[in-house]
Amino acid sequence: EKNNQEMSTNLKYLSLSILVFQTTSLVLTMRYSRTLKEEGPRYLSSTAVVLAELLKILTCILLVYKDSKCNLRALNRVLHDEILNKPMETLKLAIPSGIYTLQNNLLYVALSNLDAATYQVTYQLKILTTALFSVSMLSKKLGVYQWLSLVILMTGVAFVQWPSDSQATAAKEHSAGSQFVGLMAVLIACFSSGFAGVYFEKILKETKQSVWIRNIQLGFFGSIFGLMGVYIYDGEQLSKNGFFQGYNQLTWIVVVLQALGGLVVAAVIKYADNILKGFATSLSIILSTLISYFWLQDFVPTSVFFFGAILVIAATFLYGYDPKPAGNPIKA
């Protein structure tokens, strides 16, 4: 019993530290890879999204294989039973999957136009959209603390997006237009993330399938939608320079980190709770800000930014805070 508890605590913190690492490094490498000055064509972000999906499927199949005691026949049976023989169940995932694909493409747009720190903080609005969709779709009840935290969250993000004098100097480099495009991309991504997350949660609660099987189904549709995106948006470039144009080591790192992201979040949902997830997010925001400032040097924090970021981090904690007295109400 004690060992099990220790084990699950370790898994909790392991999955969280991986989440912090993944969130921070994905944002920074993505930002870096989109702003790097290079010879030749830049890689197509739409193709990177597809590769991340394929990699995710592959990893999940390996995980299911491991769960099936590394028996190929068992693996084949599980995949056949769970995916092919339940077409309606599988189709249900086309919706969140299409939205996730859209969202993954939007994140590239956002990071091509916003610095990593501003992006990270603004993207936390997905806590708000997720909460609203949970209330409307899963008829969840939010406590006073949670509503309060959502108000603080919005205030914080508003401060972070507040135009400042130092941005006037930065604005010469990239126009206010691109800042707006970045902001819009993040906002749409927040809404799609909130909706898809809640929808996915709803499906996970209604059926007893493993998270990995679910992710294989998500990835399957994700790659199809992703490929459609590649042809619709980058068809011309594709026929000119091929699918892997502009790819380098950094691009592959971004792809791996993005694939890892979906799986890490799945693991965190499994082993940790929202409070800890919020904790990981906050750490990630702080790290991104520091690295954005010292290493990418595309960001100079203002006092308004700091104030906003602190509010967002506080809101993240408050949202996961549960005021119920734990176990021993006499002390209270």
10-residue stretch averages of pLDDT, the chain, 332 residues long: 73 79 84 78 85 91 84 85 80 86 87 83 81 82 82 82 58 64 89 85 75 84 89 84 86 88 71 67 79 77 83 79 53 37
pLDDT for the residue numbered 211: 76
Torsion of CA 271, 17, 95, 235, to 10 degrees: -150
What does the block give as tokens for 4? 């099990």
What distances in angstroms separate CA 52 from CA 45, 206, 218, 220, 254, one per listed residue? Answer: 11, 27, 12, 11, 9
What does the block give as tokens for 285? 């925001």
Cα three-residue angle 224-220-235, rounded to 5 degrees:
20
- In this prediction the pTM is 0.76
What distances in angstroms separate CA 276 from CA 9, 99, 195, one per listed residue? Answer: 12, 25, 21
pLDDT for the residue numbered 275: 62
Say how far apart CA 270 and CA 127 lie, in whole Å.
18
Torsion of CA 138, 140, 146, 149, to 10 degrees: 20
Residue 331: CB partners within 8 Å, gap ≥ 6?
Answer: 325
Exposure letters 211-247 (e unless 16+ CB within 10 A, then b): bbbbbbbbbbbbbbbbbebbeeebeebbeeeebebbb
Give Rg (Cα) of the chain: 21
pLDDT for the residue numbered 22: 83
Query: How many CA atoms lie within 13 Å of 19's alpha carbon, on the beta-carbon side?
Result: 28
Where are the chain's structural domains? 1-113+210-271, 115-173+272-322
pLDDT for the residue numbered 317: 76
What does the block give as tokens for 67? 């769960």
pLDDT for the residue numbered 252: 92
Say how far apart CA 228 and CA 331 lie, in whole Å.
60
pLDDT for the residue numbered 272: 63
What does the block give as tokens for 197? 């997350």
Only one residue has tokens 């990593």, namely 116
pLDDT for the residue numbered 164: 60
pLDDT tens track for 46-102 = 898 899 999 999 998 888 888 888 888 888 888 888 777 788 878 888 888 888 888
Only one residue has tokens 């100097």, namely 169
Cα three-residue angle 44-46-48, rounded to 5 degrees:
75
pLDDT for the residue numbered 11: 75
